[in-house]
Amino acid sequence: MLRQTITIKDIARELNISVSTVSRALRDAFDVSLETKQMVLEKAKELNYKPNYNARGLSQGKTNNIGVIIPFITNYYFSTVITGIQKIAYEYNYNIVLYLTNDAEERECQIMNNLILSGLDGILISTCASNYDHIHKIMDKGVPVVFFDRTNSLNASKVKQDDYNGAFEATSHLISQGFTKIAHITGPKDQMFTQNRLNGYLNALEHHNLPVRKKWIIHNGFSQECGAQDLQKLMAKSKKPEAIFAVNDRKAIGAMVELKQQNIQIGKDFGVVGFTNDPICTLITPTLTTVSESAFEIGSIACELLLKHIQKENLIPKEVILPGELIIRESSMRSSTVVKKADLP
Amino acid sequence: MLRQTITIKDIARELNISVSTVSRALRDAFDVSLETKQMVLEKAKELNYKPNYNARGLSQGKTNNIGVIIPFITNYYFSTVITGIQKIAYEYNYNIVLYLTNDAEERECQIMNNLILSGLDGILISTCASNYDHIHKIMDKGVPVVFFDRTNSLNASKVKQDDYNGAFEATSHLISQGFTKIAHITGPKDQMFTQNRLNGYLNALEHHNLPVRKKWIIHNGFSQECGAQDLQKLMAKSKKPEAIFAVNDRKAIGAMVELKQQNIQIGKDFGVVGFTNDPICTLITPTLTTVSESAFEIGSIACELLLKHIQKENLIPKEVILPGELIIRESSMRSSTVVKKADLP
DNA sequence: TTGTAGGCGTTATCAT
DNA sequence: ATGATAACGCCTACAA
């Protein structure tokens, strides 16, 4: 079975009209008669005609493909963002070309330099890079880029959660629960969102007149394992904290696993707050207090913004910051010995 | 800043040679002199030339894009499969175009009928459909399709986990723990993988001379909520089961949440086994016994297979079945009252 | 309203 | 080893 493609030429020949007329009819142009249009559409369906996007792209200079570049996809946040992106992209008939950087700057550069780029109308990116040359190059070529989650100082549209205030609230909440010795376990220093959450943490301490101990701020990777490591480091110190605010739920959970290992009562003796509101927060015991991120909305808004940039050459960059919400659960409640009905007298 | 693209013409002009020579040099063809080749490559780098994949695709009839069609991406299994696909695709310089069907057959058809398809060299799909006309159409056009996870009876390459044996082992394990009244909560009837897991369950019962109670087999959706619903239904029956084998971890977890609500001791009084080995299995209390799926390998193998089909027109379809592994944890252990050191006298 | 012709960037088929 | 030239499928002035 050979891949015999039906083109507008076939339709034109069968109908004894010219290709341009067929093209017009297919694109629902204004200057075609209703009858010919219907004739063409019928014939197209009959022959099971599919447009060749390569050809269309070549002649129009666009592809209806947008690139999405993210570190990973195996976590709640990014997979939900993608779902949000997909919804909008699908509505507007755009396809998503997915790239995973594995959180490696080099890989991200490779992807952006060597590959495609001619095949993409625009790019949505959560960058893991500290140097932005590769991104600059693309933007200079006139390819619209919208950043989300992990943003930076470049002059482009950005969509993200409110990292600073989320962190501020999270930390303040721990303080309101009577925890004063609060550590922060976070990611690499050169990420802006990491920096913002750190600032939120620091300012919350300051605001409540609590001292900052630099030794209680641990920079490490973003994974659950890193969270566990961080907690070990903290508890090995001479001055131990009695609560932590983690940069994300993964690390918070790693810390919780380690705390359980060390037989420390989470909630009562040690407060834990994460960031993201991964569904796992409600499944782990004790349930994890966190700051929710509107991942789906971040994806859909970022995509809408990108499509606008694609449509309008010199749209002024816009920065959208979505508020988070502190969701209080057991892991941060001093009084949270869960009382089950069955345990009541 | 206009999108001024550098083409091979520019290189040709600057070097005072013909475009065909440039093209040859760029493609590392055999009939170019070493010097011109190097000259061209240097100039290309200097001008920051990027090939136009649309044009290349148009003239070669290929795009280096493969489509990946899945129901969701917000779960461990699919996001891990994608990661596996990505690894291989990246190695071979293929791009991934992602489509989410949201588990809606209609949407899947729309995607395959209306959209692209001319823009894809091949397709990897985990179909949610019960009717395969839309897939047939594509395959008839000569576009290679490889199925994974959710397969079917079509004559094409397939890669999947060993659903039958996994289910058989899972059920047998529950029986070996002394559970005899075992229910099965599963998905819609018309999925083949669902059917296979059901058969594994049934044959395990039969093999151990246990009766089959049809009322203990619940068909419903795949979500956590559905799992909770299913358990409610089961416990509302006059004859209640004392263990369940769930078609996936999500449903198992939904059931566990509901069991906790009803104050039923999981493990000791009620056995639960899932399927997938989502990382959440080790985080929930009690930890969840499950059958591991090699999601990453399924992705990478499926992608390799697809690339072979793309390369070789009439490659004979191949079916790869990856074995799972029963991972025994607390949720299925009758004797698994977790004894913490702190609780010891 | 329709048809003609040239072009998008690249590759492939001829010559030279 | 290199150069001209015609595709690839579609779009779009321009002409009719």
Q: Are residues B107 and B197 in the same domain?
A: no
Q: Are residues B191 and B230 in the same domain?
A: yes
Q: Are residues A177 and A318 in the same domain?
A: no
For residue range A263-288, what is the model confidence (pLDDT) as tens digits?
999 999 999 999 999 999 999 999 99
pLDDT at residue B245, as a whole number:
98
**What letters, b where the CB count within 10 A reaches 16 and e where it falls short, cover A43-72?**
bbeeeebbbbbbbbbbeeeebbbbbbbbbb
The C-alpha atoms of residue A256 and residue A258 are separated, in whole angstroms, by 5
For residue range B152-189, what is the model confidence (pLDDT) as tens digits?
888 999 999 999 999 999 999 999 999 999 999 999 99
Question: Residue B308's domain is classified under what CATH number?
Answer: 3.40.50.2300
For residue range B74-89, what is the model confidence (pLDDT) as tens digits?
999 999 999 999 999 9
Protein side of the strand D interface (CB < 7 A): A 5, 7-9, 19-20, 23-24, 26-27, 51-52, 55-56, 58-60; B 16-21, 24, 30-33, 35-36, 55, 58-59, 61
Q: Indicate whether B336 pLDDT > 50.
A: no
For residue range A188-219, what is the model confidence (pLDDT) as tens digits?
998 999 999 999 999 999 999 999 999 999 99
The C-alpha atoms of residue B200 and residue B288 are separated, in whole angstroms, by 19
Nearest-CA residue of chain A relative to B70?
Answer: A83
Confidence of residue B342 (pLDDT cuts 50, 70, 90): very low
**Range scoring the smallest mean pLDDT among A10-24, B108-122, B283-297, B309-323:** B108-122
Percent of chain A with pLDDT over 70: 94
pLDDT at residue A116, as a whole number:
58
Nucleotides of D under 7 A from a protein CB: 1-5, 7-13
pLDDT at residue B340, as a whole number:
41
Average pLDDT, chain A: 91
DSSP label at residue B284? B
Residue B82 lies in a domain: yes
Mean pLDDT for A221-250 is: 97
Residue B222 lies in a domain: yes
Q: Are residues B212 and B336 in the same domain?
A: yes
The C-alpha atoms of residue A334 and residue A21 are separated, in whole angstroms, by 74
Residue B38 lies in a domain: no
Range list of β-strands (E), B38-173:
65-70, 95-100, 122-125, 145-148, 157-161
Q: Indicate whether A96 pLDDT > 50.
A: yes
Q: Indicate whether A345 pLDDT > 70.
A: no
Confidence of residue B2 (pLDDT cuts 50, 70, 90): very low
Q: Could you tell me the residue range of the domain that residue B98 belongs to?
A: 65-161+295-323
pLDDT at residue B174, as a whole number:
98
Contacts A75 to B, Cβ<8 Å: 79
Residue B52 lies in a domain: no
Q: Indicate whether A317 pLDDT > 90.
A: yes
When CB atoms are compared, the residue of B76, B80, B117 closest to A50 is: B117
Q: Indicate whether A338 pLDDT > 70.
A: no
The C-alpha atoms of residue B93 and residue A62 are separated, in whole angstroms, by 21
Confidence of residue B228 (pLDDT cuts 50, 70, 90): very high
Percent of chain B with pLDDT over 70: 94
**Range scoring the smallest mean pLDDT among B42-56, B80-94, B320-334:** B42-56
Q: Indicate whether B117 pLDDT > 80.
A: no
pLDDT at residue A1, as a whole number:
30
Q: Indicate whether B196 pLDDT > 70.
A: yes
**H-helix or E-strand spanning residue B134:** helix B133-140
Residue B23 lies in a domain: no
Confidence of residue A252 (pLDDT cuts 50, 70, 90): very high
Q: Indicate whether A4 pLDDT > 80.
A: no
Q: Indicate whether B339 pLDDT > 50.
A: no
For residue range A121-144, what is the model confidence (pLDDT) as tens digits?
899 999 999 899 899 888 887 889
Residue numbers 33-72 of A with CB closer than 7 A to any atom of strand C: 33, 35-36, 55, 58-59, 61
Q: Are residues A195 and A332 in the same domain?
A: yes
Confidence of residue A88 (pLDDT cuts 50, 70, 90): very high
Q: Are residues B203 and B219 in the same domain?
A: yes
pLDDT at residue A337, as a whole number:
47
Confidence of residue A320 (pLDDT cuts 50, 70, 90): very high
Whole-angstrom CA distances from B203 to A204, A230, B166, B276 are: 60, 47, 12, 20
Confidence of residue A2 (pLDDT cuts 50, 70, 90): very low
A343 Cβ contact partners less than 8 Å away, ≥ 6 residues apart: none
Residue B263 lies in a domain: yes
DSSP label at residue B72? -
For residue range A32-71, what is the model confidence (pLDDT) as tens digits?
899 999 999 999 999 888 888 888 888 888 888 899 999 9
Q: Are residues A316 and A336 in the same domain?
A: no
The C-alpha atoms of residue A260 and residue A257 are separated, in whole angstroms, by 5
Count of the separate structural domains present in chain A: 2
Q: Are residues A225 and A109 in the same domain?
A: no
Q: Which of A291 and B335 is assigned the larger pLDDT? A: A291
B111 Cβ contact partners less than 8 Å away, ≥ 6 residues apart: B69, B99, B101
Residue B197: how many CB atoms within 10 A of its CB?
Answer: 29
pLDDT at residue B116, as a whole number:
58
B71 Cβ contact partners less than 8 Å away, ≥ 6 residues apart: B78, B100, B101, B102, B103, B126, B128
pLDDT at residue B63, as a whole number:
83
Q: Are residues B231 and B336 in the same domain?
A: yes
Residue A1 lies in a domain: no
Residue A3 lies in a domain: no
For residue range B119-135, what is the model confidence (pLDDT) as tens digits?
788 999 999 998 998 99
pTM: 0.91
Q: Are residues B221 and B177 in the same domain?
A: yes
For residue range B11-37, what is the model confidence (pLDDT) as tens digits?
999 999 999 999 999 988 888 899 999
Q: Indicate whether B326 pLDDT > 50.
A: yes
Nearest-CA residue of chain A relative to B295?
Answer: A74
pLDDT at residue A173, as a whole number:
98
When CB atoms are compared, the residue of B53, B61, B140 closest to A1 is: B140
Q: Measured in angstroms, what separates residue A27's CA from nucleotide C5's C1'?
A: 20
- Are B83 and A76 in contact (CB < 8 Å)? no
Q: Are residues B119 and B199 in the same domain?
A: no
Residue A214: how many CB atoms within 10 A of its CB?
Answer: 5
Q: Are residues B74 and B219 in the same domain?
A: no
